[in-house]
Amino acid sequence: MGAEFLSLALPGVQALSPYEPGKPIEELQRELGLDEVVKLASNESPLGCGPCALKAVGGALNELARYPDGGGFNLKQALSRNLGVGTDCLTLGNGSNDVLELVARAFLSPQHEALFSEHAFAVYPLVTQAIGAQAVVSPARDWGHDLEAMAARISARTRVIFIANPNNPTGTWVDRETLEAFLDAVPATTLVVLDEAYFEYVAEATYPDGVSYLSRYPNLIVTRTFSKAHGLAGLRVGYGISSPEVADLLNRVRQPFNVNSVALAAATAALSDTGHLARSVAANAEGMAQLEAGIQTLELPCIPSVGNFLAIDVGRPGRNVYQALLRKGVIVRPVEAYGMPQHLRVSIGLKAENDRFLEALEDVLRDGSC
Ligand SMILES: *Cc1c(COP(=O)(O)O)cnc(C)c1O
C-alpha cells in the first residue's frame, strides 16, 4: 500500500504519544480470567453517580432520536445559579478535557508557547503538541507547581498557562496568596487555565476558588468537571468559566453537539443533588485517611494529596509494582510518563477496595514479585 501521505500528518501529531488511560476492569478480567477486580486507576468516584442523575438519565432515554440542545440551556442555567456567573461565561465540554482542547485550538499556534509544570496533568502537553505549539515545562517544587518558577518562564510568546489545582497525579495544591501573586505577575496578553477538576474535594481553608477571581483577571479560564466528585466520568461533561468574550471564542471552535443529551440531563440533575455530592466528598475523606494510614504502616512515603487519589513512592520501578498488582486483580496507575518512575497513583476507593489494595501491595512488596 502506498502510504506516503502518512508523512504529511502534522509533525506534532506524528510525535504524539497517546494518553494512557487506566486499564479497564473488563480487560484485566479477560486477560487473567479473574472475577474480582478492583480498579483504583482513574480517579473515578467509588460511590458512582447519585440517584437524581440516574433518574434523569432514564428520562433522557425517551429523546435519543433527537439532537441534544447544542446550547445546553438547562445545564447552563443550573451552573449559572450555582456559581453566580452569567450563562454567557460558560463553555460546556465533552469532559473538561474537551475545554482544555478548545483553549488550545482557539489560542495556540506553532508560533506560541504553552507553559505548564513538571508532573502536571498529561493532557496539557498533549493538546499543546497536537497544535504544534511549543511546550515550556517549568520545574516542580516538592512535586507541586512552583508558581514563582513558572512566572519566571513567561515570555512574549507564552499564550496559555495551564495550572491544575490540585494537580493530578501529585495531589498538590497552591493557596490563595500564592495564586494571587502569580495572577498579578501574568501579563494581560497571556491566558491562565486553572484546572479545578477536584475542586469539590478540597477542604483546605486557604484553597482558592478560581471563579472568585474571574472579575479581577479577564485572562483567566477556570475548568471543572462532573467526572470526579459527581461520579459521571462515563458521560463526559465538563465546563469552562471565563469572561463572556473568552467563552464566545471557545464556543466558536466547539462542536455544535459536543455534550450529548443524556449527559446534559444527568449533569443538570447532579448539580442539585447536594446530598450525593456531600456523601461522595465525605467518603473520599474517610478513604484518604484509611489509605494514608495503611501506606504509613508499610513505611512508604507519599505526596500529601487534597484530591481523590494518592501518589505513593514504592521505592522501586512503579511499573513493576503495577504489573504485580495486576496479577492480584488490582488496577492502579503507573506514572513514569509524568516523570515519576517510582510512584504509583492510587485512587481512593470504598473501604473494602482500599483494604484489598493495601493487602495486595503489602504482598507484592514482601514476596519479591516486583
Ligand atoms: C480528571 C481530570 C480532568 C477531567 O477530565 P474530564 O475530561 O472532565 O473527565 C481534568 N483535569 C485534571 C487535572 C484531571 O485529573
CA of 199 relative to ligand 1 center, distance in Å: 11
- Tell me the average pLDDT of the chain: 96
Q: Is the Cβ–Cβ distance between 5 and 13 less than 8 Å?
A: no
**227 CA: nearest ligand 1 atom:** 9
Q: What residue's CA is closest to ligand 1, atom 3?
A: 197
Q: How many CB atoms lie within 10 A of CB 258?
A: 21
Torsion (CA) 16, 22, 27, 28 in degrees, nearest 10: 130
Average pLDDT over residues 270-274: 97
pTM confidence score: 0.96
Give 87-112 pLDDT, tens digit per residue: 999 999 999 999 999 999 999 999 99
CA distance 285 to 280: 9
What DSSP line would sit under 198-209, residue for residue? TGGG---TT---
Asked if 108 contacts 114 with a C-beta cutoff of 8 angstroms, the reply is yes
- Residue 11 is predicted with a pLDDT of 86
Distance 113 CA to ligand 1 centre (A): 22
Q: Is the pLDDT confidence value at 2 over 80?
A: no
Mean pLDDT calculated for residue range 319-337: 96
CA-to-CA separations, 8 to 13, 18, 137, 153, 274, in angstroms, rounded: 10, 19, 27, 32, 50
Longest dimension (CA), the chain: 61
Ligand 1 near 154 CB (within 6 A): no
Query: pLDDT tens digits for 158-195?
Result: 999 999 999 999 999 999 999 999 999 999 999 999 99
Q: What is the pLDDT of residue 32?
A: 87
- Atom 15 (ligand 1): residue with closest C-alpha? 168
For the CA of 307, the nearest atom of ligand 1: 15
Give all strands of the β-sheet with 113-117 in edge-to-edge order. Answer: 90-93, 238-241, 220-225, 191-195, 158-164, 113-117, 134-138
The predicted pLDDT at position 1 comes to: 58
Mutation probe of ligand 1 site: the residue of 227, 239, 348 with most atoms within 8 A of C-beta: 227
For the chain, percent of residues with pLDDT exceeding 90:
91
Choice among 23-27, 298-302, 304-308, 346-350 with the minimum mean pLDDT = 23-27
